[in-house]
């Protein structure tokens, strides 16, 4: 309906009624508008004042009485355009605030055993962890740490899916494990969790690169899913 469209364009329900009534009636006194719309005369006067401010109606004085008349409907578009021009600087300011507070994409580098511990403790904030390339080397480099880590992960009911080339990895709490041929073994592992991907080099002085980027993490998840289907239980 026309009235609903005008309301969507920014007019109130009463403004819509009065404007449409004036289009039908032509120049009219408040009493006639009141009878046409069913609105109280006081409400008609209040509404016409608002429509005058918006440039959607005008009036002439006849016998010292106001005779209201609708302005061309194109003025509705002009009014919307003026609102757009007025709000554009505000949108620019709000965008600046949004860009400062929105979640940042970032890449962090970690080195050494303590740095690696920080990476694994970060994973304890997620519901699931995917590990591609798990190795017993990790347990040798971070002796005793993974006992605490797995205990904490188990208490938080965080599940893990592991793809590994190391047949010696068999018992990990809350895990599903699948295996690839040993010829594909590598000191590099990839841990995927939440919106992050951790690329870990298990060496005497371990290194991790943690990438926080939804699209990159999604790509690694798809790669993991593909290998999961290929790997054997």
Per-residue pLDDT reduced to its tens digit, 203-231: 889 999 999 998 999 999 999 999 999 98
Q: Does 170 score more than 80 pLDDT?
A: no
Question: Taking residues 177-200, what's their average pLDDT?
Answer: 91
**Which ranges of 9-59 would DSSP assign to H, the alpha helix?**
13-25, 30-37, 41-53
Q: What angle do CA 133, 134, 135 make, to 5 degrees?
A: 115
The answer to whether the CB of 55 falls within 8 A of the CB of 77 is: no
What are the CB-based long-range contacts (under 8 Å, 24+) for 57-66? 57/18, 57/19, 57/22, 60/27, 65/29, 66/29, 66/30
Domains contained in the chain, CATH given:
2-87 (1.10.10.10), 106-230 (3.30.870.10)
The tens digit of pLDDT for each residue in 174-184 reads: 989 999 988 88
Give the model's pLDDT for residue 55.
86
| Mean pLDDT, range 154-164, rounded to an integer | 93
Reference 51, options 1, 94, 9; nearest CA is 9
Q: pLDDT at position 116, please?
A: 92
Q: Percent of the chain having pLDDT more than 90?
A: 50
Integer Cα distance of 30 and 65 in angstroms: 9
């Amino acid at each position: 309906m026309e009235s609903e469209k005008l309301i969507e364009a920014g007019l109130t329900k009463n403004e819509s009624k009065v404007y449409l009534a004036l289009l039908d009636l032509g120049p009219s006194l408040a009493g006639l508008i009141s009878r046409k719309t069913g609105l109280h005369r006081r409400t008609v006067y209040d509404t016409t004042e608002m429509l005058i401010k918006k440039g959607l109606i005008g009036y002439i004085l006849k016998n010292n009485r106001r005779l209201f008349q609708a302005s061309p409907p194109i003025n509705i578009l002009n009014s919307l355009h003026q609102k757009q021009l007025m709000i554009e600087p505000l949108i620019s300011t709000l965008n600046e605030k949004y860009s400062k507070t929105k979640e940042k994409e970032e890449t962090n580098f970690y080195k050494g055993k303590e740095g690696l511990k920080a990476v694994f403790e970060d994973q304890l904030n997620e519901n699931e962890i995917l590990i591609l390339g798990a190795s017993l080397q990790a347990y040798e480099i971070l002796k005793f740490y993974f006992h605490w880590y797995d205990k904490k992960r188990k208490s938080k009911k965080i599940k893990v899916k592991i793809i590994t080339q190391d047949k010696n990895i068999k018992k990990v709490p809350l895990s599903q494990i699948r295996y690839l041929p040993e010829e594909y073994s590598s000191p590099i592992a990839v841990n995927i969790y939440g919106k992050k991907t951790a690329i870990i080099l298990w060496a005497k002085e371990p290194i991790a690169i943690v990438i926080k980027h939804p699209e990159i993490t999604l790509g690694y998840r798809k790669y993991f899913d593909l290998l999961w289907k290929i790997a054997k239980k």
